[in-house]
Amino acid sequence: MKSDLLIAVTQLAAERNLPQPIVVKAIEAALAAAYKRDPAAQGQDVIVDMDPDDGDVVVRTVRHVVEEVEDPLMELTADDAQELQEGAIVGDIIETGQLEYNPGRIAAQTAKQVVMQRLREAERDIVFEEFIDKEGEVLTATIQRVESRWVTVDLGKAEAVMPPAEQSPFERYRPGQQLKFFVVQVGRTIRGPEIVVSRTHPDLLRRLFEVEVPEIFSGVIEIKAIAREPGARSKVAVSSNQEGVDAVGACVGLRGIRIQNVVNELLGEKIDVIEWDEDPVKFISNSLSPAVADRVDLNEEDESATVLVPDRQLSLAIGREGQNARLAAKLTNWRIDIQGTSAVVEEEPETPEVVETADAVAAPAEGEAAAEVATEAPVAAAETAAPAAEVAAPETATAPAAETAETPAAPAAEVATETAPAEPEVDDEAAKAAADAELLALEEELAALEREEQERKAAAEAETLDVSSDDLWQVDGGSSSDSAKKDTGGIRFAEDIAGFRETDAGRRGGRRGGSSARNRRRR
């Protein structure tokens, strides 16, 4: 039959949600603390043993074997211990006697305080052991209260705190709100386990992807890097360890349902999932998504990269307040410099045009006269040489053309002829002249065709209007009457108009005349 003490221990264990052995140890410690104050213990240490099956209690007085005795009532040396127990060594506990178990003699208040203290310590130890394994995991919890920017979160058996550094600047927390938190640290303190949770840790995003994407949890897809600005935007680089599996597509899900669940858990934070690549050039180009890079130049010594993007995508690559470029740099661990293609083209030095100097033209000339002509007017010499070539090109050259070659312009022509690079220019000018002549002939032929078309149209109009003057101006004598108008179709020409005006004037005059006659009669 169970004793009343054992029944009380069982009930206490059920109320506190603690294992029964822990409650039994707490009761034993409380009884030992109470019996130490009993005069029957004579200042010795007391150990209480309680049978968990029937509730029997045994109270013993003991002394500890030590090297140096500080308290003679509780301790003794090894030599003295040999008299009580042979073979005793330092560290042993020697029983010196037993006390009668009499609950009535126990200070009940002392035992109660000790029991409650030991039970609280046991609860803290259990909570600590439970949450120490959950460090680095994601837990669903409810916000309990918000005090001076410190948020207290209810985890069920324990409470956690979220300091301001672990809070997202774009999120607003209110009591009763249920969110997912990342357990950053679990520590042991005097007041119990201290649990710190976060909403800004990058691993929060990693754990959420592991929950939503089974391929990541199983290891088929691996998250290589994460760059996050909490509450605003994040970039996740993923790669596939199995051929035929699209890493980005698996993370996005059908119609984006997987990544949308992650976005909802983070209260609308934007997430870019990109393909990871071992080649830094491709990886940096992918990290600037959604912008498309034209070229990536790496400087491995400084670990910097220069990225060229089209001008229309320059703002997209940089992002709002440089957010996209900043996240790409965090993701790749490279310092990224983004430039537009037009700016790079303007900075490139222009190739100098090859211009023949006056010395090159004047070099083959002999005599002071040729040098003066080449130095003072090189352009004029080139312009003079071109017409000379045009004149000499046609096969039907006349005698005056030959006389023209003997004019004072001959020295300039001779200078242009002696310079070897001028010969291709003569051929080009001749070809241009031939092309101009063909174009001019085509234009003249087109003008002739237009003139013929105009003449044909004029002749056709003349035939349609070929009517005699008598027919044009012949008017029926009775055309002014109503019957004539009905037969001939109304007024047709100038005579009819004149007749109509006379008739209309007469009518108006008649009206005026009638009114004046009436006025005279009134007078």
Asked which of 101-115, 404-418, 458-472, 506-520 is least confident by mean pLDDT, the reply is 404-418
Range 406-414 average pLDDT: 38
| pLDDT 10s digits, 182-204 | 999 999 888 888 999 999 999 99
**Which of 201, 192, 189, 187 lies closest to 139 in space, CA to CA?**
201
More confident of the two residues 16 and 471: 16
Asked which of 58-67, 258-267, 284-293 is least confident by mean pLDDT, the reply is 58-67
Q: In 3-state terms, what secondary structure has residue 127?
A: helix
Q: Which amino acid is at 79?
A: D
| pLDDT 10s digits, 303-334 | 999 999 999 999 999 999 999 999 999 999 99
Structure confidence at residue 420 as a pLDDT band (50, 70, 90) = very low
CA–CA dist 73, 62 (Å, integer): 10
Instruction: Tell me the C-alpha to C-alpha distance, in Å, between residue 165 and each of 59, 176, 228, 323, 362.
Output: 54, 21, 15, 20, 81
Q: In 3-state terms, what secondary structure has residue 325?
A: helix
Helix (H) or strand (E) holding 100: none
* Whole-number pLDDT of residue 61: 85
* Whole-number pLDDT of residue 355: 41
Q: In sequence order, what are the beta bridge partners of 229?
A: 233
* Whole-number pLDDT of residue 341: 86
Using alpha carbons only, give the angle 140, 145, 151 rounded to the nearest 5 degrees.
70
Q: Indicate whether 120 pLDDT > 90.
A: no
* Whole-number pLDDT of residue 512: 46
Q: Indicate whether 49 pLDDT > 80.
A: yes
Range 232-259 average pLDDT: 93
* Whole-number pLDDT of residue 221: 95
Q: At what angle do helices 368-376 and 410-418 cross, to 10 degrees?
A: 90
Q: In 3-state terms, what secondary structure has residue 380?
A: helix
Using alpha carbons only, give the angle 272, 275, 280 rounded to the nearest 5 degrees.
110
Q: Indicate whether 384 pLDDT > 60.
A: no
* Whole-number pLDDT of residue 304: 93
* Whole-number pLDDT of residue 516: 45
More confident of the two residues 521 and 50: 50
**Which of 150, 152, 133 lies closest to 142 in space, CA to CA?**
152
* Whole-number pLDDT of residue 56: 80
Percent pLDDT > 70 in the chain is 70
* Whole-number pLDDT of residue 427: 56
H-type alpha helices, 199-287:
202-212, 214-218, 247-252, 257-265, 280-287
More confident of the two residues 28 and 372: 28
Q: Indicate whether 47 pLDDT > 80.
A: yes
* Whole-number pLDDT of residue 412: 37
* Whole-number pLDDT of residue 28: 85
Q: Indicate whether 156 pLDDT > 60.
A: yes
Range 376-398 average pLDDT: 36
Domains of the chain, first to last: 4-122 (3.30.1480.10), 135-198 (2.40.50.140)
CA–CA dist 307, 281 (Å, integer): 9
b/e sequence 383-397, b meaning 16+ C-beta within 10 Å? ebbbebbeeeeeeee
**Residue pointed to by tokens 């410190």:** 150
- Cβ neighbours of residue 192 under 8 Å, at least 6 residues apart? 123, 124, 127, 128, 158
* Whole-number pLDDT of residue 25: 86
| pLDDT 10s digits, 345-374 | 665 554 444 444 334 333 343 434 333 433
Ranges 17-31, 46-60, 248-262, most confident: 248-262
Range 83-109 average pLDDT: 75
CA–CA dist 34, 26 (Å, integer): 12
Q: Indicate whether 418 pLDDT > 70.
A: no
Q: Indicate whether 18 pLDDT > 50.
A: yes
b/e sequence 141-163, b meaning 16+ C-beta within 10 Å? bebbebeeeebebbbeebbbebe
When the pLDDT of each residue in the chain is averaged and rounded to a whole number, the result is 75
